[in-house]
C-alpha cells in the first residue's frame, strides 16, 4: 500500500500549469459507474483543451473489493464483460453532443441546437443509462482510450476499442509477437493499423557510464524489502499468497488466476522458468520494472533498445517508467531524449495541441 493522490484531481491541477503534455488517468470499470467516468474525463478534456486520456482497466487487485462492500473480487470473465459494456456507455455519453451544439444565442433565447443533442438511452446487461452527458463535446472529439490487457479477452477488447495499448514484454521477440497479434485483429473490427498505438513499458536505469548505471541499479535493488517484494510478486502473479514457500526455492506451479491479471501471470511465470529464478530472484527482477523491458546502461544503450524495438515491429512508442522520481525521469529526458533526437526518431517540438495530435490518432 502506497499513499498517493486521486488521479483526476491531480491531472486537473496539472492541466492548469501545462499547455502541451497529455494527461492520462487510470480508472477501473470494476468499481466505478460509466456516467461518473464519462463526466470526469470529459471535464478534464475541457479544462486541458483536448489533452485527456482514459486508461480503461479492470481491477486486478483482489483486496480492492473490500473497499466497495463486496464479499469477493469479480472474476476475470465478468470483469471484461462489464468493461466492454462500460466502454460502450462512456463513449456513447461522450457523443451526446455534436460539435457546435451550444450556440448561446441570448437574443433568440437558444442555449443549444436541439438537433445536435443525442440522448443515449442505453439498456444492457450491466447498465441502464439514459443520458445525455452534461458536459459539451470534447475538443479532440473524445478523450483517448488507453488499455493494458494482455490476456486473450483483453486483446480482443483492445483490438475493438483501444487507441493506445500499454503492454509488458521483457524481450523483443515477445513484443513482436504481441504487436503482430494485436494489429492483426484490427481488420475484423473495421479498423486501420494506425488507429491503435502499441506502447510497451521501458524501465531504464541510466548512467554516463555502464558502471555508474549498474551502481544505481544495485542501490535500488538493495532497497527492496523482502516482505514488500514478496507481496508485490504475489499480487502481480494472480493474487496468490506465496509466504509459505521458501524464498530461495523455485516458483511453485500455480493455477490460472481468475481474479488477477492472466497475461502478467503468464509473463512472470515464463521469466521465472526461462531464467531459472527463485522466488527471491523473481521479485527482485520485477520490483522496479514489473516485468517490462529493463535496461541498465548508458543513454546510447537505452536508445539502442528503443530504436530496435521501434524499427523491428515491437512498438509504436514507449511508456517510460522512471525508477525513481524526479531523478530517474530527469536522466531519461536529459540523456536519452537528445540521443533519440540525434537519431531522428524523436520529435524536437510538439506538432499539435491535443493528445490525439501528439499521438497522430484520428479525431472521432
pLDDT band at 287 (very low <50, low <70, confident <90, very high): confident
The four Cα atoms 215, 210, 199, 54 give a dihedral, to 10 degrees, of: 30
β-strand partners of 200: 167
User: What's the Cα-to-Cα distance from 281 to each of 118, 140, 285, rounded to whole Å?
Assistant: 55, 45, 6
- The residue segments making up the domain with residue 119 are 7-162
Q: What whole-number distance in Å separates Cα of residue 45 and Cα of residue 22?
A: 10
Choosing from 286, 306, 327, the residue where a domain stops is 286
Shared-domain flag, residues 12 and 89: yes
Q: Which long-range contacts (CB under 8 A, 24 or more apart) does 110-115 make?
A: none
Q: Is the pLDDT of residue 265 over 90?
A: no
Strands 293-297 and 197-206: parallel
Q: Is residue 200 domain-resident? A: no
Band the pLDDT of 236: cuts 50, 70, 90. Answer: confident
Phi, psi of 278 (to 5 degrees): -75, 170
Among 162, 189, 209, residue at a domain's last position: 162
Q: Is residue 73 domain-shared with residue 157, that is, in the same domain?
A: yes
Which of 162, 177, 209 finishes a domain?
A: 162
Position 167 in a domain = no
In a domain, 143, yes or no: yes
Q: How many domains are there within the chain?
A: 2
54 contacts 357 by C-beta, under 8 angstroms: no
User: Is residue 248 domain-resident?
Assistant: yes
* Tens-place pLDDT, residues 332-364: 999 999 999 999 999 999 989 999 999 999 999
DSSP 3-state of 205? strand
Do residue 120 and residue 246 come from a single domain? Answer: no
Model confidence pLDDT, tens digit, residues 162-220: 999 999 898 999 999 999 999 999 999 999 999 999 999 999 999 999 999 999 999 99
pTM of the model: 0.86
The x, y and z cell numbers of residue 127, run together, are 447498465
Q: Is residue 114 part of a domain?
A: yes
The CATH number of the domain holding residue 100 is 3.20.20.30
Whether residues 150 and 229 fall in one domain: no
Please indicate, yes or no, whether residues 155 and 235 belong to a single structural domain of this protein: no
Q: Do 137 and 61 share a domain, yes or no?
A: yes
Cell numbers found for residue 101: 451544439
Asked if residue 134 and residue 33 are part of one domain, the reply reads yes
Question: Do residues 60 and 148 both lie within one domain?
Answer: yes
Residue 62 has pLDDT above 70, yes or no: no
Whether 60 and 135 map to the same domain: the answer is yes
Q: Do 144 and 14 fall into the same domain?
A: yes
How far apart CA 335 and CA 306 sit, in angstroms, is: 14
Let me know if residue 297 belongs to a domain. no
Cell of 113: 441546437
Is position 136 within any domain? yes
Q: Are residues 53 and 145 in the same domain?
A: yes
Whether 259 has a pLDDT exceeding 70, the answer reads no
Q: What is the pairing mode between strands 164-167 and 293-297? A: unpaired
296 located within any domain: no
Res. 61 pLDDT band, cuts 50 70 90: low
Indicate whether 130 and 239 sit together in one domain: no
Q: For 300-340, how does the pLDDT look when each residue is reduced to its tens digit (9 = 90+)?
A: 999 999 999 999 999 999 999 999 999 999 999 999 999 99
Q: Chain-wide mean pLDDT for the chain?
A: 91
Amino acid at each position: 500500500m502506497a499513499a498517493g493522490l486521486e488521479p483526476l484531481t491531480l491531472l486537473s491541477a496539472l492541466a492548469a500549469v501545462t499547455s502541451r503534455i497529455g494527461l492520462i488517468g487510470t480508472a477501473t470499470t470494476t468499481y466505478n459507474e460509466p456516467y461518473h467516468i464519462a463526466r470526469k474525463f470529459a471535464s478534464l478534456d475541457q479544462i486541458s483543451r483536448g489533452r485527456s486520456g482514459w486508461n480503461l482497466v479492470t481491477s486486478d487487485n483482489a483486496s480492492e473489493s473490500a473497499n466497495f462492500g463486496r464479499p469477493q473480487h469479480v472474476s476475470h470473465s465478468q470483469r471484461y464483460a462489464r468493461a466492454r459494456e462500460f466502454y460502450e456507455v462512456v463513449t456513447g455519453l461522450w457523443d451526446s453532443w455534436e460539435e457546435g451544439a451550444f450556440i448561446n444565442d441570448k437574443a433568440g433565447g437558444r442555449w443549444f441546437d436541439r438537433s445536435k443533442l443525442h440522448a443515449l438511452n442505453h439498456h444492457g446487461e450491466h447498465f441502464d443509462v439514459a443520458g445525455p452527458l452534461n458536459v459539451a463535446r470534447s475538443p479532440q472529439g473524445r478523450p483517448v482510450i488507453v488499455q493494458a490487457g494482455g490476456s486473450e479477452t483483453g486483446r480482443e477488447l483492445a483490438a475493438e476499442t483501444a487507441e493506445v495499448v500499454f503492454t509488458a514484454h521483457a524481450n523483443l521477440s515477445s513484443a513482436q509477437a504481441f504487436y503482430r497479434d494485436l494489429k492483426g485483429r484490427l481488420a475484423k473490427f473495421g479498423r486501420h493499423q494506425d488507429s491503435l498505438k502499441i506502447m510497451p513499458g521501458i524501465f531504464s536505469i541510466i548512467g554516463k557510464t555502464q558502471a555508474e548505471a549498474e551502481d544505481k541499479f544495485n542501490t535500488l535493488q538493495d532497497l527492496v524489502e523482502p516482505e514488500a517484494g514478496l507481496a508485490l510478486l504475489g499480487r502481480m502473479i494472480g493474487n496468490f499468497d506465496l509466504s509459505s514457500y521458501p524464498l530461495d526455492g523455485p516458483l511453485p506451479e500455480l493455477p490460472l488466476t481468475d481474479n488477477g491479471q492472466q497475461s502478467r501471470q503468464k509473463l512472470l511465470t515464463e521469466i521465472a522458468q526461462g531464467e531459472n529464478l527463485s522466488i527471491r530472484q523473481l521479485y527482485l527482477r520485477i520490483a522496479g520494472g514489473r516485468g517490462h523491458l529493463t535496461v541498465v546502461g548508458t543513454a546510447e544503450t537505452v536508445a539502442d533498445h528503443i530504436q530496435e524495438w521501434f524499427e523491428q515491429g515491437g512498438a509504436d512508442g514507449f511508456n517510460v517508467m522512471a525508477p525513481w522520481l524526479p531523478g530517474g525521469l530527469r536522466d531519461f529526458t536529459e540523456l536519452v531524449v537528445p540521443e533519440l533526437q540525434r537519431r531522428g526518431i524523436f520529435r524536437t517540438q510538439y506538432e499539435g495541441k491535443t493528445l490525439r495530435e501528439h499521438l497522430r490518432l484520428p479525431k472521432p
